[in-house]
Amino acid sequence: MTVKTAAGTIISISATIPITFDSVGYADTGVVFTPIGEITDGGEHGRKYASVKHSPLGSRGIVKFKGSFDEGTKTLQLGLDSDDAGQIIAKAALASDNDYSFKIAYPGGDIDYFQAKVMSYVKGTKGVDSIVSATIELDISTSSTGVGVVEVLAP
């Protein structure tokens, strides 16, 4: 059985951009990742294509094609910790127009790497029986050669 729980997943951030947008570039020792602490919901990410529709008069049927793609957004929910190094880097990234590097290390050894801009870092106080929280929204980028999320499967 290869299905696993998400428990133990670590999401990390780095201000350093890899030399190449592949597993070797991201694994380079010059790209130092700092875990973002207290994440309670790691969100979702993945490439989504636009649907391009063509409606020829002669056939009445709609023909569909894949158009442009978007790596999407990823929303992280977390307990706010002003002393957490990863949260400090993410908050600093909000003030920057630059892409930051992200690493998601899953239980079992699979890893996803990607570039993203931090688009929001919002604090939340939902109620008396809740933890002071934060929501970080990442807008995942695509390189000029079309590379988005780099998946590295465990050996």
How many domains does the chain fold into? Answer: 1
What's the token pair of residue 44?
A: 């979702």
Give Cα 90 to chain centroid, integer Å. Answer: 12
Q: Is 4 within a domain? A: no
Residue type, 126: K
pLDDT digit string (tens) for 89-131?
Answer: 999 999 999 999 999 999 999 999 999 999 999 999 999 999 9
Cβ atoms within 10 Å, residue 90: 23
Considering the entire predicted model, what is its pTM? 0.92
* CATH code, domain carrying 120: 4.10.410
* Separation CA 46–CA 123 (nearest Å): 25
**Helices assigned H by DSSP within 14-129:** 23-27, 85-94
State the residue range of the domain holding 21: 10-152
pLDDT at 155: 84
Contact 154, 110 (CB under 8 A): yes
Q: Is 5 within a domain? A: no
Contact 134, 44 (CB under 8 A): no
pLDDT at 144: 87
Q: Is 1 within a domain? A: no
2-6, 18-22, 51-55, 146-150: lowest mean pLDDT where? 2-6
pLDDT at 1: 54
pLDDT at 60: 87
Q: Is 3 within a domain? A: no
pLDDT digit string (tens) for 41-95?
Answer: 999 999 999 999 999 999 989 999 999 999 999 999 999 999 999 999 999 999 9
Residue 112: exposed, middle, or buried by beta-carbon count in 10 A (0-12, 13-18, 19+)? Answer: middle
Q: Is 2 within a domain? A: no
